[in-house]
Amino acid sequence: MPAKSTGTAPALSTGNGAAARETAFFCRKRMLLPIFPGPRPRAGPASTAPAARPILDKKFEPTCVFSERARQLTSSAIREILKVTEQPDVISFAGGLPSPDGFPVDVVRQAYDRVLATSARTALQYGPTEGYAPLRAWVADSLNRRGASVTPEEVLIVSGSQQGLDLLGKVLIDPGSKVLVETPSYLGALQSFSLYQPQFVSVPGDDGGLVPESLTPELAGGGRFLYALPNFQNPTGRTLARPRREALVAAAARLGLPVIEDDPYGDLRYAGRAEPGLLALAGECGANVIHLGSFSKVLAPGLRLGYICASRPIIHKLVQAKQATDLHTATLTQMAVHEIVKDGFLDGHLPRVRELYRQQCGFMLDALQRAFPAGTRWTRPEGGMFVWVELPPHVDSAELLQRAVREKVAFVPGAPFYAGAPAHNTLRLSFVTVPEEKIRHGIATLGRLIADTPA
Ligand code: PMP
Distances (CA, A) of 30 to 5, 8, 25, 79, 140: 21, 15, 9, 32, 55
Q: Which atom of ligand 1 is nearest to the CA of 233?
A: 3
Most confident of 51-60, 85-94, 194-203: 194-203
Instruction: Please tell me which residue, 273 or 7, carries the higher pLDDT value.
Output: 273
Q: Name the helix (H) or strand (E) containing 436.
A: helix 436-451
DSSP 424: T
Q: How far apart are alpha carbons 320 and 322 in whole angstroms?
A: 6
Q: How far apart are alpha carbons 92 and 172 in whole angstroms?
A: 36
What letter represents residue 175's amino acid? P
What is the 263 CA–ligand 1 centroid distance (Å)? Answer: 8
What is the 368 CA–ligand 1 centroid distance (Å)? Answer: 26
Query: Does residue 85 have a pLDDT over 80?
Result: no
Peptide bond into 34 cis (omega under 30): no
Strands 155-158 and 377-378: unpaired
Is residue 186 lining ligand 1, measured as CB closer than 6 Å? yes
Query: Does residue 343 have a pLDDT over 60?
Result: yes
Burial letters for 424-443: b for 16+ Cβ neighbours within 10 Å, e otherwise? bbbbbbbbbbbeeebbbbbb
Sorted by sequence, the CB contacts under 8 Å of residue 366 that are 6+ apart come out as: none
Q: Specify whether the CB–CB gap between 434 and 202 falls below 8 A.
A: no
DSSP sequence for 266-308: TT-B-SS-----HHHHHHHHT--EEEEEESTTTT-GGG--EEE
What CATH number does the domain located at 125-343 have? 3.40.640.10
**Pocket-testing residue among 181, 262, 291, ligand 1, by greatest number of atoms within 8 A of Cβ:** 262
Q: Which CATH architecture has domain 77-96+347-451?
A: Alpha-Beta Complex (3.90)
Is residue 185 lining ligand 1, measured as CB closer than 6 Å? no
- In three state form, how does the secondary structure of 320-343 look? HHHHHHHCCCCHHHHHHHHHHHCC
Residue 106 CB neighbours (<10 A): 8
Query: Does residue 11 have a pLDDT over 70?
Result: no
The arithmetic mean of pLDDT across residues 414-421, rounded, is: 95
**Pocket-testing residue among 82, 157, 161, ligand 1, by greatest number of atoms within 8 A of Cβ:** 161
Q: How far apart are alpha carbons 339 and 354 in whole angstroms?
A: 22
Q: What is the pLDDT of residue 237?
A: 98
The arithmetic mean of pLDDT across residues 269-281, rounded, is: 97
Is residue 258 lining ligand 1, measured as CB closer than 6 Å? no
DSSP 393: T
What letter represents residue 400's amino acid? L
User: What percent of the chain is predicted at pLDDT more than 90?
Assistant: 80
Q: Which atom of ligand 1 is nearest to the CA of 229?
A: 3
Residue nearest atom 9 in ligand 1 by C-alpha distance: 162
Q: What is the pLDDT of residue 43?
A: 40
User: Which one, of 319, 246, 313, lies nearest residue 283 by Cα?
Assistant: 246
163-188 pLDDT tens trace? 999 999 999 999 999 999 999 999 99
Is residue 168 lining ligand 1, measured as CB closer than 6 Å? no
Global pTM? 0.86
Is residue 306 lining ligand 1, measured as CB closer than 6 Å? yes
Q: What is the pLDDT of residue 95?
A: 85
**Pocket-testing residue among 167, 234, 337, ligand 1, by greatest number of atoms within 8 A of Cβ:** 234
**What residue spans define the domains of the chain?**
77-96+347-451, 125-343
What is the 161 CA–ligand 1 centroid distance (Å)? Answer: 6
Q: Report how many helices (DSSP H) and strands (DSSP E) the chain contains, helices first.
A: 15, 15
What letter represents residue 5's amino acid? S
Is residue 293 lining ligand 1, measured as CB closer than 6 Å? no
* Chain mean pLDDT for the chain: 88
Q: What is the pLDDT of residue 82?
A: 65
Q: How far apart are alpha carbons 390 and 396 in whole angstroms?
A: 10
Q: What is the pLDDT of residue 86?
A: 73
Q: What is the pLDDT of residue 36?
A: 29
